[in-house]
Amino acid sequence: MNGVAFHSFRRALKERGLTIEIQNRRERARLNSMFDADTQLLDSLGAKKMKELKRQRNRLADRGTLSLEIARTPTEVASALEQFLALEASGWKGKRSTALIQNAGDAAFIREAASGLSAVGQFEALTLRAGDRVVASSLIVRRGRHASFFKMAHDEGEAKNSPGVQLTLDLTRHLCADTSIEEVDSTADAKHPMINHIWRDRLVLGDVFIPLTGQNFGTAAIRMIVLARDALYSCARHSIHKLRAIREKHK
């Protein structure tokens, strides 16, 4: 809610005696890529955690030499994307049938988007390998001086060596070294257990209600509907997580 569009709306409405109302205010992780990556990582994680991650990285390297591949051209991105889709489907998302490649529409969308955006320099795919084996993969969308950490997948068989975190560290260094990028949106949940500890800056978000007239009845009604929707969603999500835990316990 720090963007130009938000402030323009609020200023225009204030001139008309109207007020923006914000519901479901939240924050999610953001990277200020104008500062040195290693300094930020050390400040966020501390020397002890960085040492542990280095040890885990060495264990990953025991599987084969670690290499980071950055795909930028449409041909490179197309190949890297297929590797990402396969890796994502091999993990928990595949088990729950929520991986992108398991839905024809989702798969077609991401392939078309990756092709079109990479053709104009707005899409990258980062792949971390241990030898010939892909252990983590991520997708980045770029727009002007901003980027979005759009998707991440990792080899869950290597979870004890934190391949997803390792790739996030590489991605952080990659984007901080790019002087054309000022900030990176994690696109993660507000309480994401991994990225929140690595990227300590925050992007403030909220559901913004813009009144069309001076009568606030409509805005109040919409607000109540949204609150009810959020409550039902939270209840449904809690129930699903509980059912999954019960199923996994009895496997």
Q: Parse the chain into domains and list their residue ranges.
A: 4-25+206-249, 28-205
Helix (H) or strand (E) holding 135: strand 133-143
Q: What is the CATH number of domain 28-205?
A: 3.40.630.30
CB distance 46 to 243 below 8 Å: no
What is the pLDDT, as a whole number, of residue 20?
Answer: 80
3-class DSSP state of 149: strand
What is the pLDDT, as a whole number, of residue 214?
Answer: 65
What is the pLDDT, as a whole number, of residue 140?
Answer: 98
Q: Which residues pair with 134 in a beta bridge?
A: 129
CB distance 13 to 210 below 8 Å: yes
> What CA dihedral angle connects 85, 88, 90 and 95, to 10 degrees?
-120
What is the pLDDT, as a whole number, of residue 218?
Answer: 58
What is the pLDDT, as a whole number, of residue 71?
Answer: 98
CA–CA separation, 173 and 145 (whole Å): 16
CA–CA separation, 205 and 1 (whole Å): 6
Q: Which residues of the chain have pLDDT under 70?
A: 1, 213-223, 226, 241, 244-245, 247-251
